[in-house]
Amino acid sequence: MAVSVVLLVGFVLLSVAEYGSSQTYNAIYNFGDSITDTGNLCTGGCPSWLTTGQLPYGDTYFGRPTGRCTNGRVIVDFLADHFGLPLLPPSKASGSDFKNGANMAIIGATTMDFGFFQSLGLGNSIWNNGPFDTQIQWFQQLMPSICGSDCKNYLNNSLFIVGEFGGNDYNAPLFGGKSITEVKGYVPQIIDKITNGVETLIGLGAVDIVVPGVLPIGCFPLYLTLYQSSNQDDYDENGCLKSFNSLSVYHNGLLKQGLAVVQSKYPAVRLMYGDFYSQVTQMVQSPGSFGNLL
Ligand SMILES: *[C@@H]1O[C@H](CO)[C@@H](O)[C@H](O)[C@H]1NC(C)=O
């Protein structure tokens, strides 16, 4: 259930490009879930139970499954290309050189730790092998090999990408039968966890940080199938389920507020909100503009 979306387009490019073509980075460090995982479950070969470790995953670009949840590339691959950096190695690929980037993202990752879901009675349905805090620890373990004892003078020229986080935090309770109203009640805690993690990264030396919001989950085929309705009023003009999209909009609104608070505390940091929601809505509205020939 964690593997629900296939994204092909590097839409963060647009907002990053606004800083001009002169912007350069020495590295990209990414944290996230299946939207941006570049193979953390496949570093020793993909396990046979992993659907996304089998063709047709990987077939249009790499010619083989890499552990990415797409047939092509993920967003951070396009960003690495854009900045002339090598594709980010998954952080679990020991022996890799992480000086120009590392990708801590892992399929199924949630923002919240396991205990949060356990307290909701959802412990059994969580396949949670790398929540955000754990990913930050993975990054800290790599830091000595990346920047030795002078990390602030290295990471201040790196691009950090945090997320999106949240998709799996909402999948778990919703598919576990919790109401949207109840799930909306968790959003502030999830946003706090994200913004606290961002502050931790700032403490480690991050300066340029992109924090994407969640996608319009009411447009996902999975949601449209599970929560089909005979009432046309439940759908918006794009055929997406309004109530689930309103959860995403609520998350993104609180995220932007939370980021504004962090930004005001750290004026030297450049926090950039990544508007995945609008970009994916455009993809739903006009797939042809994004190269979808179907
Ligand atoms: C950050 O980067 C620049 C080089 O681009 C350097 O001169 C500066 O002192 C760095 N360190 C910190 C901690 O800001």
* pLDDT tens-digit map of 15-24: 444 555 689 9
The pLDDT of residue 267 is 98
Please tell me the distance from the alpha carbon of residue 89 to that of residue 195, in angstroms, as a whole number. Answer: 25
Looking at the CA of residue 268, tell me the nearest atom of ligand 1: 14
The pLDDT of residue 16 is 47
Q: Is pLDDT of 124 > 90?
A: no
- Residue 274 within any structural domain of the chain: yes
pLDDT band at 290 (very low <50, low <70, confident <90, very high): confident
Q: Is pLDDT of 13 > 70?
A: no
- Residue 179 within any structural domain of the chain: yes
- Residue 270 within any structural domain of the chain: yes
Q: Which amino acid, residue 151?
A: C
Average pLDDT over residues 74-90: 97
CA-wise closest residue to 74 among 99, 46, 26, 107? 107
The pLDDT of residue 15 is 46
Please tell me the distance from the alpha carbon of residue 188 to that of residue 52, in angstroms, as a whole number. Answer: 31
- Atom 3 (ligand 1): residue with closest C-alpha? 153
Cβ of 23 below 6 Å from ligand 1: no
- Atom 7 (ligand 1): residue with closest C-alpha? 153
Average pLDDT over residues 184-192: 98
Residue with tokens 């480690």: 204
Q: Is pLDDT of 123 > 90?
A: no
Tokens for 50?
């992993």
Average pLDDT over residues 246-264: 98
pLDDT band at 127 (very low <50, low <70, confident <90, very high): confident
What domain range is 247 assigned to? 3-38+74-290
- For 268-277, the pLDDT digits (tens) are 999 999 999 9
Looking at the CA of residue 153, tell me the nearest atom of ligand 1: 11
Contact criterion met (CB below 8 Å) for 165 and 111: yes
Cβ of 153 below 6 Å from ligand 1: yes
Average pLDDT over residues 92-114: 96
The domain that holds 106 is classified in CATH as 3.40.50.1110
- Residue 78 within any structural domain of the chain: yes
- Residue 91 within any structural domain of the chain: yes
Cβ of 54 below 6 Å from ligand 1: no
pLDDT band at 6 (very low <50, low <70, confident <90, very high): very low
Q: Is pLDDT of 9 > 60?
A: no
**Phi, psi (rounded to 5 degrees) for 262:** -60, -45
The pLDDT of residue 21 is 63
Average pLDDT over residues 50-65: 96
Tokens for 109?
């990752």
Q: Is pLDDT of 128 > 70?
A: no
- Residue 56 within any structural domain of the chain: no
Residue with tokens 């460090």: 29
10 Å Cβ neighbour count for 277? Answer: 21
- For residue 104, report the distance from its CA to the centre of ligand 1, in Å: 25
- Tell me how far the alpha carbon of residue 38 is from its chain's centroid: 11
- For residue 210, report the distance from its CA to the centre of ligand 1, in Å: 19
How many domains, the chain? 1
The pLDDT of residue 39 is 97
Average pLDDT over residues 159-185: 97
Looking at the CA of residue 156, tell me the nearest atom of ligand 1: 1
Q: Is pLDDT of 8 > 70?
A: no
- Mean predicted lDDT score pLDDT of the chain: 92
- Length of the chain, please? 294
- Residue 201 within any structural domain of the chain: yes
- Residue 68 within any structural domain of the chain: no
